[in-house]
Structure 1
Amino acid sequence: MCGITGWVAFQRDLSTANKDIDAMTATMACRGPDDAGVWRAPHVALGHRRLAIIDLDGGAQPMTIDTPEGVVAMVYSGEAYNFRELRVELRARGQRCTTESDTEVVLRAYLEWGAAFAERLNGMYAFAI
């Protein structure tokens, strides 16, 4: 499985904490040799080490989606066994996936159903949104 890390600090600006989140992500190199990524905002930093299994080209993380309320970012590790079925349901509800990645399906499910989306997932996973 991939490696995920995150940091939330309301009393500190993390958008410039490059060394810290990069070091946190680097420590997980053995968890994901295929890619690494970080995402920073003023009070949140997310890191990901990828072990590519599904959608080798389109599943880069942290994955972000722009919404009217702002950017939503996620790091995810695991497998949603029913992601294809969820993708069909999400498309019927107006969500448009741009990758074949189960990561995008999980993130769009969160956008569609809020925290209750986890009740719809069948699989093994860990994530931070």
Structure 2
Amino acid sequence: MTEKQLEKYIKGKYIGMIKGNYDIYCSLTASEINNFVQNAGKYADLVIVKLRTNEILFDTHGQFINRILPELSESDRNSVDIQKTINQIATKFNELRLNDQIGEGPIKKVQRFISEAFNEEIVETMIKEKKILTQLI
């Protein structure tokens, strides 16, 4: 994939959801995906779906990308061309992640998703537990 093709592929609209729960979603642009993963990923595993093609771009294990293009078969995944594409996508999202201001907290639409998708009591408990754990370390 050329750089122009990659830019075109990454550009567009996405939705982020909890893996296995597709009732509540968050509409995202490519530049907002990292904020979504870093903040909502604290509470659950996520999937990012590209709206134009309805393909799962990647899924997460918490705040970390688990698999890019997870719906590919193992034989397709082992293709040199597909491996190159996966690596290009990973590199591009890493660039977006590095340019993001992670310390600023969730953007408004991600905050709304978190409050709708997760019981606020659970979120508060997890925040307190993390603070306690941080103090112990």
Both proteins in one fold, TM over 0.5 = no
Calculate the TM-score normalised by the size of structure 1. Answer: 0.24
Q: Answer 1 or 2: which has greater helix percent.
A: 2
Q: Answer 1 or 2: which has greater strand percent.
A: 1
The structure having more radius of gyration, on CA atoms, is 2
